[in-house]
Amino acid sequence: MQGRMYDGHVLDMIELGIVGYTPMGDIEGSKKLIGSYPCFVFAGDQWDRELTNKKLKNLLLGAWRTDTHTHTHTLLLLLTLLEHCD
C-alpha cells in the first residue's frame, strides 16, 4: 500500500503487488549507500496518460520529496518491466 494522509484522513492510496522478489544480498554490484536518495525514471507516456499511473507516479515522488531534494530520486521504474510482471 502506498498512500497519503492529511489531518488524520486518507487523501489517496494505491495497492501494489510484488511478483518475483530478489533480496538485495543476492544482487551483485555496489549496494545502496546510507542516506542516498532514490531516482525515479518513468519511461513511456502511459505515466502521464493513464489515471492510475499518474496517481502512482505522484505518490512515489511525493513520498521522497523533501525541502532540499525536491525531485532528485533514485529508484528505476520502467513501465515496460511492469507490463511483464503478470
Q: Could you tell me how many helices (H) and strands (E) the chain has, helices first?
A: 3, 4
User: What count of Cα atoms within 13 Å lies in the side-chain half-sphere of residue 19?
Assistant: 8
Q: pTM above the 0.75 mark?
A: no
Instruction: Check pLDDT > 80 for residue 57.
Output: yes
Section 63-67 average pLDDT: 67
Place of cell 513511456: 44
Q: Nearest CA to 19 among 78, 75, 80, 84?
A: 84
Lowest mean pLDDT among 20-24, 41-45, 54-58, 77-81: 77-81
Bridge partner residues of 76 (DSSP): 41
